[in-house]
Structure 1
Amino acid sequence: MALLRSAATVSSFTLLSRITGLARDILVARAFGAGPLTDAFWVAFRIPNLLRRLFAEGAFAQAFVPILGAARNQHDEETVRTLLDRVALLLTLALMLVTVVGIVAAPWIVTAMASGLRGSGQDTEFGAAVWMTRVMFPYILCMSLIAFASGVLNTWRRFAVPAFTPVLLNVAMIVACVWLAPRMDVPIYALALGVMAGGVAQLAVQWVALARLGLTPRFSLRIGQAWADPTVQRILRQMGPATLGVSVAQISLLINTNIATWLTPGSVSWLSFADRLMEFPTALLGVALGTVLLPSLSAAHARADQAGYSALLDWGLRLTLLLGLPAALGLALLSDGLVATLFHYGAFSAADVGQTRLAVIAYSVGLIGLLAVKILAPGFYAKQDIRTPVKIAIVILILTQVMNAVFVPWLAHAGLALAIGLGACINALALLTGLRRRGVYQPGPGWGRFLVRTLPALAAMAGVLWWADQNLDWIALQSYPLLRAGWLAGVLAASGIAYFGVLFLLGARPRDFTRRPTSTAPPPA
């Protein structure tokens, strides 16, 4: 139950974050539509986000959390504090340098990220993307320190604050969209200022949480001592392959964004809005479970508790399939209703709904793969094996670009989403195969019974969604937004009742998934 409570805490705050993020995107869609300047914002916003995922939340977290967890178990408090001080110092200096370089080199970075904006007649969009990139580049410094604080708080099992703080970014962007944008000569520039305000607010809240634990870094100028620290060197050595592994996914994202800028204007925005819908299940399930699993897996590995390690992975995979399969089905069959109800207002046209819907359907094909990777990859990271996921990720990058070459001429922007989804499924299958071959993960009993119960439940849910697709014209309901929202809520509720009702009738019970994974050793504190 302790793991489930932690996952529920993270999921609850993540849900709040995604709801506010959705409100943010609804306002952006209503105010700016899916035009060229909106594309310019999403390109500019994606650049610091790419670096944040690459260095801060990706490679850094994968290398830092397992080593910090081991240090906490093996050393005294002062030794751990010294490690935190030195890591924070080097991280801050490195990202300050990256930020300065990024601001100076913004035109070249935007060109590499979105070369389609350099086309004739697009000088305004390119200039806007460069300006917003420069404004938002310091966001990576804020987010890197936030990633550091989150790693510490999660290691101390304080999951709530790191899960909550993304809400502040969304609130800041909402305020910028509603209040600041009408007061600016170029209204969409307000969103870039909102991003920076949100980054500062997130950092402030997490720093206060660290202070309450007495773990705020004590900055100094002893750079040489920090660099020479053996544990810091271990983190840096782990970050090498981790950076390569995470960069593979980010390179794929960069390539896809670049391709999208050469497609129909609005393609980047359609993919961004579709990605927002995908973030609900990936964050609520994949990120939440991955966040609580990594410290627990690291602790099980430190205790040499192989049975408990395997049971943790098994629990995460079952919960992922239990909730991920209906989420994928809902996104695919209810994409029209979801996109129209959430975004079909103001400057966001019926044509935009149709194009975004295609991207949502394409993304939904790979949802289970995207979720499973979040569960399976920590199975390697907790053992400080980052090289295996890296090798797999490189192969997936190549396969994804091959699929882009096949799908994009046929499906345009939706082909990019489909290639990402199928690549994630292949990635998850390769990770699962690697864990099984090494004897790290052995499926627990009851998988056959679980699948036999799940398939009829999915069929019942599909029946409800098919009825809605055949009988409701979501575009025509634009004039009745409350009625449209009511129908969407009703269909979602009915499909959920159908799914979980059939599961219950076939013998599934909540205790089957709330039970703590079995272990041969005491559970982690």
Structure 2
Amino acid sequence: MFKNIKIIAFFTILSRILGFFRDFLITRYFGADIYTDMFFVAFKIPNHFRRIFGEGAINSSVVPVLSKIDKDNPEKAKVAIGNLIIIFGTILLIFTIIGIIFSKVLILISAPGLLLDPHVKTLDLLVKINFSYIFFIGMAICFMGIMNSYNQFGVGAFSPSLLNISMIVSILILYDFFKPHIFTLCFGVVLGGILQMIFSYYGLKWGKIPIQYTFKIEDSTKQILKLMSVTAISGSVLQIGDMIDTFIASFLKVGSISYLYYANILFQLPFAIVVLAISQATLPQLSKLEKPQLVENTNQLLKIILNLSIPITLYFIFFGKDLITIIFQHGKFTSSDTANTDIALTMFMLGFLFFSQLRIVNNAFYAIKDVKTPLKASMISVLAKLITSVVCAYLFGFWGLALSLSIVGFINLAILNHYFKRKIGKIVYKIPKESLVIFFVLIFLSIGLKNINFSKTYVVNALFRLLLSALIYGPIGFYIIKKELLSYRIKQ
């Protein structure tokens, strides 16, 4: 299992490094203005649907069902895979065409405040171009979900790097070719989606996964599609919350959407490397367990996530501004943009632990093919997000939207914990004394380091703080990984 976690984590880190270079180029060439706001809206729309109907639905429905079928009936599994590719591909194609035709409706739903902007025609064209990405990335994620069911994670983990590479090359080579320049990014997005789809398809071939294409629908395919329709909503609180934030932020000051985007990029870094890697690698094995073993393993995973989340949260709260300074504060991205992005990041990080544990608890329900309970919790959470977003945005502005997401993460986790106890077993939340010691030691050292100035130049100070903080947090992180994660084995 740890081998799979290492594979996912390694390629995720590679993708995030490329992603940071991509965003470095975006901030340098484009800054944070009305054009970047429009692009991020146009980029977020297909990405919301990708995560809701792609990653969320595919991984939570395909993996548990196919893992079980392949174990019991390999012949049936290859028919189910062929069915899934044909049906999901057809649905994606129709959905993509409808989205392109009704692009202004998507803008109205996502960012109505920008409809009044004089550049609305540019925004509409950006949305039309970017929405074609949903078909290519959707098919890529379908192929990845199938590979995950067979415990093959390398292709899926590397695939996002292709999008970043495509966007980087587009900026460096084609920036002056497009007018307005922002269309350069759209070209990179679409090309990246095509590359991901092709690469993932050949991943099925390289993995020697048997596929039988037929129009006769298997019962297992119907089960996958049924689960997928429910998990599309229940596993997507982060995405629905982000959609609500973009909607409200479109009425706030220029740059608000960009600040939330850049902050979310940094939030997603540890979330993807640590939380998603662990949850993706363990779901196939958890799906094969009975309830008593599932409860025991879920509690152990929650303990690991808790111990890892403490230093991650503190690091980004104390040194997030330094990271933003080094990575983003170049060219058209100003110190004011850095300060605004930092406060949004801090608000996001307050909910890191809640969303991390939520991912593990959700997986436990998916492992027993119970998708209705997470759906109920998600629907309540979405309602809470609507209320808290309006209130927090009114009180605090754009960073209130990030705060509201953290509040909703806590609410969603509390609801699922209640249902977990009733339907599966008891979750044990016990904070080890060692974790408390690490927590207070890190706070003390971080406060001291944060108040030390090495130079009159803030960039130099930021660089030195990042280097010294790495010497503090790095060994602690490796110690926790060695003690908790390396020693963990799925208990049958």
Q: TM-score range by the shorter chain?
A: over 0.9
User: Does the C-alpha gap of structure 1 residues 516 and 97 become closer, same or farther in structure 2, counting only changes over 3 Å?
Assistant: same
User: Does the C-alpha gap of structure 1 residues 320 and 247 become closer, same or farther in structure 2, counting only changes over 3 Å?
Assistant: closer
User: Is residue 142 of structure 2 the alignment partner of residue 145 of structure 1?
Assistant: no
Match of 1:157 in 2: 151
Deviation at 1:209, TM superposition (A): 1.5
Q: Identify the match of residue 24 of structure 1 among 5, 22, 25.
A: 22
User: Does the C-alpha gap of structure 1 residues 244 and 251 become closer, same or farther in structure 2, counting only changes over 3 Å?
Assistant: same
Distance 2:324 2:90 in 1: 42
Match of 1:128 in 2: 122
User: Does the C-alpha gap of structure 1 residues 239 and 107 become closer, same or farther in structure 2, counting only changes over 3 Å?
Assistant: same
| One-letter amino acid of the counterpart of residue 463, structure 2 | A
User: Does the C-alpha gap of structure 1 residues 70 and 344 become closer, same or farther in structure 2, counting only changes over 3 Å?
Assistant: same
Greater Cα offset, 411-420 or 4-13: 4-13
Alignment of 1:296-315 (within 5 A): 296-300=285-289, 304=290, 306-315=291-300
Deviation at 1:216, TM superposition (A): 6.5
| One-letter amino acid of the counterpart of residue 423, structure 2 | R
Matched-pair contact (CA < 8 Å) for 2:147–2:204 = yes
Q: Identify the match of residue 477 of structure 1 among 458, 467, 474.
A: 458
Alignment of 1:65-214 (within 5 A): 65-76=63-74, 78-119=75-116, 122-124=117-119, 126-214=120-208
Alignment of 1:288-367 (within 5 A): 288-300=277-289, 304=290, 306-367=291-352
Greater Cα offset, 135-144 or 97-106: 135-144
Match of 1:461 in 2: 442
Distance 2:43 2:343 in 1: 23
User: Is residue 251 of structure 2 the alignment partner of residue 251 of structure 1?
Assistant: no
Match of 1:7 in 2: 5
User: Is residue 481 of structure 2 the alignment partner of residue 514 of structure 1?
Assistant: no
Match of 1:286 in 2: 275
Q: Identify the match of residue 61 of structure 1 among 59, 81, 103.
A: 59
Distance 1:487 1:512 in 2: 28
User: Does the C-alpha gap of structure 1 residues 265 and 363 become closer, same or farther in structure 2, counting only changes over 3 Å?
Assistant: same
Task: Provide Cα deviations, 1:426-452, integer angstroms capped at 9, x if missing partner.
Answer: 212322332233343554xxx75x521
| One-letter amino acid of the counterpart of residue 191, structure 1 | L
Where 2:176 maps in the other structure, the secondary structure is helix
Gaps of 5+ in 2: none
Gaps of 5+ in 1: none
Where 1:185 maps in the other structure, the secondary structure is coil
| One-letter amino acid of the counterpart of residue 274, structure 2 | L
Matched-pair contact (CA < 8 Å) for 1:461–1:496 = no
Matched-pair contact (CA < 8 Å) for 2:417–2:427 = no
Distance 1:516 1:141 in 2: 38
Where 1:402 maps in the other structure, the secondary structure is helix
Where 1:405 maps in the other structure, the secondary structure is helix
Distance 1:424 1:115 in 2: 26
Q: Identify the match of residue 420 of structure 2 among 421, 431, 435.
A: 435
Match of 1:412 in 2: 397
Matched-pair contact (CA < 8 Å) for 1:341–1:485 = yes
Distance 2:456 2:364 in 1: 44
Where 2:254 maps in the other structure, the secondary structure is coil
Q: Identify the match of residue 274 of structure 1 among 259, 263, 276.
A: 263
Deviation at 1:251, TM superposition (A): 3.4
Where 1:215 maps in the other structure, the secondary structure is coil
Distance 1:491 1:370 in 2: 25
User: Does the C-alpha gap of structure 1 residues 48 and 217 become closer, same or farther in structure 2, counting only changes over 3 Å?
Assistant: farther
Q: Identify the match of residue 402 of structure 1 among 387, 411, 420.
A: 387
TM-score normalised over the length of structure 1? 0.89
TM-score normalised over the length of structure 2? 0.94
Distance 1:113 1:323 in 2: 34
Distance 2:68 2:168 in 1: 40
Matched-pair contact (CA < 8 Å) for 1:337–1:474 = no
Distance 1:263 1:473 in 2: 37
Q: Cα RMSD over matched residues?
A: 2.2
Matched-pair contact (CA < 8 Å) for 1:350–1:475 = no
Distance 1:216 1:169 in 2: 27
Distance 1:70 1:23 in 2: 40
Deviation at 1:176, TM superposition (A): 1.2
Deviation at 1:277, TM superposition (A): 0.5
Matched-pair contact (CA < 8 Å) for 2:137–2:197 = yes
Distance 2:210 2:34 in 1: 43
Matched-pair contact (CA < 8 Å) for 2:286–2:294 = yes
Distance 1:102 1:6 in 2: 36
Deviation at 1:215, TM superposition (A): 2.9
Distance 1:320 1:288 in 2: 11
Deviation at 1:52, TM superposition (A): 1.1
Q: Identify the match of residue 425 of structure 1 among 402, 410, 414.
A: 410
Matched-pair contact (CA < 8 Å) for 2:80–2:221 = yes
Distance 2:63 2:423 in 1: 23
Distance 2:426 2:34 in 1: 48
Distance 1:466 1:387 in 2: 44
User: Is residue 378 of structure 2 the alignment partner of residue 393 of structure 1?
Assistant: yes
User: Does the C-alpha gap of structure 1 residues 486 and 203 become closer, same or farther in structure 2, counting only changes over 3 Å?
Assistant: farther
Alignment of 1:494-513 (within 5 A): 494-497=472-475, 499=476, 510-513=482-485
User: Does the C-alpha gap of structure 1 residues 423 and 474 become closer, same or farther in structure 2, counting only changes over 3 Å?
Assistant: farther
Task: Provide Cα deviations, 1:91-121, integer angstroms capped at 9, x if missing partner.
Answer: 11111111111111112211221101112xx
Where 2:179 maps in the other structure, the secondary structure is coil
Matched-pair contact (CA < 8 Å) for 2:46–2:133 = yes
| One-letter amino acid of the counterpart of residue 41, structure 1 | F
Task: Provide Cα deviations, 1:315-335, integer angstroms capped at 9, x if missing partner.
Answer: 321221121111111111222
Matched-pair contact (CA < 8 Å) for 1:117–1:261 = yes
Distance 2:481 2:271 in 1: 24
Where 1:417 maps in the other structure, the secondary structure is helix
Deviation at 1:204, TM superposition (A): 1.6
Distance 2:258 2:304 in 1: 32
Distance 2:85 2:200 in 1: 14
Distance 1:168 1:345 in 2: 24
Distance 1:473 1:414 in 2: 30
